[in-house]
Amino acid sequence: MTSPLGIFNNQLIKFFEDLSESFPEERDIKSALELIRLAKLSNPRIIQTLFYEHVYTSLDEPIKREDSDYVVAYAKSKIENQFNEISPALLIFQKYWTTISDNSKKSIWSYLKVLCILCERARN
């Protein structure tokens, strides 16, 4: 049986794979995907820790309410001040949110909601 941490990491990798397919011109997403895959092999806890520190603690409630204005402002601030492996996912909000389809937005919100739940489970 896969641990909550393993399930979280697999879901985050799937999210970045989908982002990479949807935004093939964004090399940072591809690079982040490779870094996340490597981290999963060498130190899987660090991925969850980064997500917790840079997404979950500040965005769990805004994600639940699908508050794109808050998430876009947060993404912009985070990318400008503290870039890390999770930042390319936040880039989608800053750079593309106003132009992507409603179905893509729904998919991203779904991923983020599930990732927040899995992050919390992996942390406990």
Alpha helices in the chain (DSSP H): 4-22, 27-42, 44-51, 57-64, 68-81, 87-96, 102-123
Q: Which residues of the chain are under the pLDDT cut of 50?
A: none
Q: Is 3 left (phi over 0), alpha (psi -120 to 50) or beta?
A: beta
Q: What is the pLDDT of residue 73?
A: 82
Q: The tokens of 14 are what?
A: 């799937």
Q: What is the pLDDT of residue 113?
A: 92
pTM: 0.86
Start-to-end C-alpha separation, the chain: 17
